[in-house]
Amino acid sequence: MHTFKVVKEAYGWAVRTDCGMSTPFWSRAIAIQEANALCAALRTHGEAAEVVVEAADPADTPVVAAARIGARRMAMLLTPRRPLRR
């Protein structure tokens, strides 16, 4: 099973695997979206994959920034993207 861990890094949020990590993302929501997209891509090939999200420290989550994103936009960011057809 492939596990993608969304973790807090010094310069933002990153997606870690057993063998490496992604470049940092500005927000936790975008890192989760990327991890979900990676899982969806693996699942289309019959592989088992999961996303594990590190709990956010309440001091790290700016309330003002979260209020600017509507519920519809946040739901769109957190849902996995469908792979492109070629």
Query: Residue ranges of the domains in the chain?
Result: 2-78
Output 1 or 86, whichever has higher pLDDT: 1
Q: Work out the number of other CB atoms within 10 angstroms of the CB of residue 1.
A: 7
* Residue 64, pLDDT above cutoff 70: no
Given this model, what pLDDT does residue 58 score? 55
Taking residues 57-68, report their average pLDDT: 50
Token pair recorded at residue 43: 């699942």
Strands (E), the chain: 2-9, 12-16, 49-53
